[in-house]
Amino acid sequence: MPINPADSPILGTLYGSDAMRAVFDERAYFQRMLDVEAALARVQARLGIIPADAAEAITRAAVVENLSTDELAASARNVGYPVVGLVAGLSRAAGGAGGWTHWGATTQDIMDTATVLQVREGLSLIRAALAGMVAALAGQADKHRHTVMAGRTHLQQALPITLGLKCAVWAQPLIAHVHRLDALRPRVEQVSFAGAAGTLASLGDKGIAVMEGLAAELGLAAPAAPWHVCRDGLAETVAFLGLVCGSLAKLATDIILLAQTEVSEVAEPYVAGRGSSSTMPQKRNPIASEYILAAARTVHALVPVMLGAMAADHERATGPWQAEPLVLPQSFVLTHGALLHASAIAEGMVVDADRMRRNLDITHGLIVSEAVMMGLASHLGRGEAHHVVKHACDAALAEGISLADALAREPEVANRLDRAAIERLTDPAHYLGSADAFVDRVLRAAK
């Protein structure tokens, strides 16, 4: 039974995704290392470094089924790394060609490049999920561009906004994350092939040719120099995942607050039994949002580990590098799980527009006192308008009447505005400023 719930067949349904777990599965990792060994053999055969028939035999043998888990475990326990056991198993499976495996390579070359292949696949899943979320939130922003609700600052009603604008604000950083991801990929999707100490001396004058050929064979970029001890690409990747989780956590926090019984404006999609309590039948807990927050906090805690692993000593790190496998897979799995939870919310959020309107009305128009003041300023001057509206607000609060009623009793107002004009000034739907234009701007960015 896995110790980490994200890898559990039961709890893993809450903390991650099968698709991302498949990318970073240990068996998949060993296959990726075999893929690198096979690609290396093919490149070296083309360059005349090893026999062509040896490369063909190594490629045929480079399947994870040819490796013994028990032998790999015993070797890793003894050596400290898995590659010695992997090369031994591959060499045995390749028969007479086995002596040509791993030619001129070092352990970290194989492990780092295999990790990059996993990261490439993982980032593709993250990008697809991000794009899906952007599309869903853009759709909600367009659909609810005229759904008026209370905007809240410091958890108190401030001014009216629209749910469309709120969805657009949720979408905006996700659009930026897609651009960040695309910009990040060339910096991390690079082959690692530098030999024992970063000189490729064992390959004579063909070292760089092999490195560039291996990069091309695997569809990766070739770095200008070895990156055995330059971990910025992988650190940036995990930091990027932390940014994604931070944006998802903001959305989840808003959903949790909007779903409170006293607010009840937006809720997670309804699924029979989901979020129910073992003792309180009426409950519909915001389960997806809660697990988004849990994932975000964990990924944020892992980011410093990757940043710390950048302090690699000399030409091969003694410790920092070994911390990375504890961080990378978990960060990807948790982030993808959070994205899937958030996507479900974005696609199926339950919106109660009537409750939004009732909540807007609980202050009896005070939420638009700024609108009234600005509307009266052209008649009374800003200072006098502020004084009149403040007096009306005080009366509305003291007597429990609407702001419109209180304003109608103010001579300075009644002498200039009829009741219809006062009602219009105090209608939240008439004080939305550039909300609609902001939605349009985000929709254009989303496309």
Place of tokens 């030619």: 103
Q: State the pLDDT at residue 293.
A: 97
Specify the fold of 366-425: Ribonucleotide Reductase Protein R1; domain 1 (1.10.40)
- Contact between residue 367 and residue 157 where contact means Cβ atoms under 8 Å apart: yes
What's the CATH number for 13-105+205-218? 1.10.275.10
Task: For the chain, give every domain's residue range.
Answer: 13-105+205-218, 107-190+227-355+433-447, 366-425
153's enclosing H/E stretch is strand 148-153
Q: State the pLDDT at residue 9.
A: 86
Measured CA to CA, the distance from residue 439 to residue 432 in angstroms comes to 12
What's the CATH number for 107-190+227-355+433-447? 1.20.200.10
Q: State the pLDDT at residue 279.
A: 54
- Contact between residue 255 and residue 289 where contact means Cβ atoms under 8 Å apart: yes
Active site residues: 277, 316
Helices (H), ranges, 259-319:
287-308
Measured CA to CA, the distance from residue 160 to residue 431 in angstroms comes to 7
Q: State the pLDDT at residue 400.
A: 87
- Which residues in the chain land under pLDDT 70? 1, 272-283
The two tokens of residue 111 are 């492990």
Q: Of 356, 359, 352, whose CA–CA distance to 148 is shortest?
A: 356
Q: State the pLDDT at residue 367.
A: 87
The angle, 0 to 180 degrees and rounded to 10, between the axes of the packed helices 26-46 and 83-93 is: 60
What ranges make up the beta strands (E) of 154-306? 156-162, 266-267
Measured CA to CA, the distance from residue 447 to residue 442 in angstroms comes to 9
- Contact between residue 204 and residue 160 where contact means Cβ atoms under 8 Å apart: no
Q: State the pLDDT at residue 425.
A: 85
